[in-house]
């Protein structure tokens, strides 16, 4: 089955700096790669996603890049703010296949943004 590795496990930055979180996946059939943000004691929420037919996607201060050949994708957060502090999870899935959209998550990255 799919295996997703995520690094780093913790990331500490100063407000205004950029943060980058990287993930690799094992199943070349995976074609959907979402990122979820989980604040302390809350549910995971989707912040951005990318499909395998796209190399990069941006939404204001966040962007995701995908390298299908290398089977890795990254989350980039620019101009970080204290409210960006949370746990971030990457995930991989196969849309349209027999796995019916099951997400396999990475282990998570605890991002701390210091004011």
Where would I find the beta strands (DSSP E) of 1-115? 4-7, 10-14, 19-25, 32-38, 45-51, 56-59, 62-67, 72-77, 86-92, 104-105, 109-114
42 binds other proteins, rule: CB under 8 A? yes
61 binds other proteins, rule: CB under 8 A? no
Nearer to other proteins (CB atom), residue 32 or residue 78: 32
Q: Which of residues 21, 25, 37, 44 is near other proteins by CB under 8 A?
A: 44
Q: What are phi and psi of 114, to 5 degrees?
A: -90, 130
Q: Count other C-beta atoms under 10 Å from residue 98's C-beta.
A: 6
Listed residue (34, 21, 50, 33) closest to 112, CA to CA: 21
Q: Which of residues 66, 75, 103, 113 is near other proteins by CB under 8 A?
A: 103
Taking CB under 8 A as the binding criterion, the range among 44-52, 56-64, 68-76, 78-86 that sits at the site for other proteins is 44-52
CB of 41 to other proteins, least distance (A): 9
Residues that bind other proteins (CB under 8 A): 32, 34, 42-46, 49, 89, 93-97, 99-108
């Amino acid at each position: 089955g799919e295996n997703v590795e995520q690094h780093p496990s913790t990331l500490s930055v100063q407000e205004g700096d950029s943060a980058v979180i990287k993930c690799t996946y094992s199943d070349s059939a995976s074609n959907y790669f979402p990122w979820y943000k989980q604040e302390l004691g809350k549910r995971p929420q989707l912040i951005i996603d990318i499909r395998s037919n796209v190399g990069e996607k941006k939404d204001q201060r966040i962007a995701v890049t995908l390298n299908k050949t290398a089977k890795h994708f990254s989350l980039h957060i620019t101009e970080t703010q204290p409210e960006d502090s949370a746990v971030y999870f990457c995930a991989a899935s196969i849309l349209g296949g027999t796995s019916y959209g099951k997400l396999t998550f990475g282990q998570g990255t605890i991002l701390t943004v210091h004011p």
